[in-house]
Amino acid sequence: MGFPDTRFNVNLSILFTELPLLERPAAARAAGFTAVELWWPWVDAPVPERAELDALRDALNDAGTRLVGLNFYAGQLPGPDRGALSVPGEESARFRANVPVAVEFARSLGCTTFNALYGNRVEGVDAAEQDRLALENLTYAARAVAEVNGTLLIEALNAPESPNCPIVSAPKAIEVVDAVNAATGLDNARFLMDLYHLSMNGEDLDEVIDRYTARTAHVQIADNPGRGAPGTGDLDLAGLLDRLLKAGYDGWVGLEYKPGDGPSAEAFGWLPADRRAAHS
């Protein structure tokens, strides 16, 4: 089965990472892609120097690549610092400092979709207090995003790779989405459906699609096992994307997979060249 008519974008924080950050947009464009997304690129700097922001903006514009999604600051990804929302003190302050910077940077590029990772449990701190802080910070982010008519995404990670993250199922992520929307009254929080993470959790992906597509504002894919390109594992990603389309999903599908042993430019053989450029 071929892949359905889907709007694909490339995540430049997991693909093309063999290149310096500022060279990745042009490399994605050379591979045929016109839309990209990013984790927050500066893992130690929630508020980087203006010159760094300007340089990345110029690189994206010069390459002719459209930014369609941006993570808020969450530390080192992938890795042990899986998010900052549930961490009291300094990390919470770093997340909050990043929000207006990230919103303005993305807005300047026409991007209004933002992913906020929930964060890891912290030993020795009451879980209820961590959840209270997480909701407070997510509410703060949702209100900031609303100022640019944007969407705040809530993502479920997977328990095997992120055992300390409390959001490791689609129903739990939807619970957080509902809590944020109830707290703000803005209804601008939505589900980020990452089919790789959900499959790692052993969830029924057909059921997830049928139940939650209407609540979903972004989709990400990688095959399982291995988090590689479609066709390297066992997931019927073509069938799953077809099911999503039939369920009414018409948004972006982010390619968030590892390129394997070769250069990233060689990791797209599963997708015909004429299907890579997105014009809407």
Please enumerate in sequence order all residues whose Cβ is within 8 A of that of 141, keeping only pairs 6 or more positions apart, or say none: 72, 99, 114, 116, 152
Q: Please state, in angstroms and rounded to a whole number, the distance separating the CA atoms of residues 150 and 100.
A: 13
Q: At what angle do helices 170-184 and 205-212 cross, to 10 degrees?
A: 20
Tell me whether residue 175 is one of the annotated catalytic residues: no
Please enumerate in sequence order all residues whose Cβ is within 8 A of that of 262, keeping only pairs 6 or more positions apart, or say none: none
Tell me whether residue 18 is one of the annotated catalytic residues: no
Q: Please state, in angstroms and rounded to a whole number, the distance separating the CA atoms of residues 83 and 201.
A: 19
Q: For residue 242, how many C-alpha atoms fall within 13 Å in the half-sphere facing its CB?
A: 8
Please identify which of the residues 37, 91, 203, 256 carries the catalytic annotation: 256
Please identify which of the residues 155, 161, 203, 266 carries the catalytic annotation: 155
Please enumerate in sequence order all residues whose Cβ is within 8 A of that of 201, keeping only pairs 6 or more positions apart, or say none: 156, 158, 159, 168, 169
Q: Please state, in angstroms and rounded to a whole number, the distance separating the CA atoms of residues 12 and 134.
A: 27
Q: Please state, in angstroms and rounded to a whole number, the distance separating the CA atoms of residues 241 and 5.
A: 9
Task: Kindly state the helix (H) or strand (E) to which residue 220 belongs, with its residue range.
Answer: strand 216-221
Q: Please state, in angstroms and rounded to a whole number, the distance separating the CA atoms of residues 47 and 270.
A: 38
Task: Kindly state the helix (H) or strand (E) to which residue 115 belongs, with its residue range.
Answer: strand 113-115
Q: Please state, in angstroms and rounded to a whole number, the distance separating the CA atoms of residues 223 and 227.
A: 5
Which residues are annotated as catalytic?
155, 256
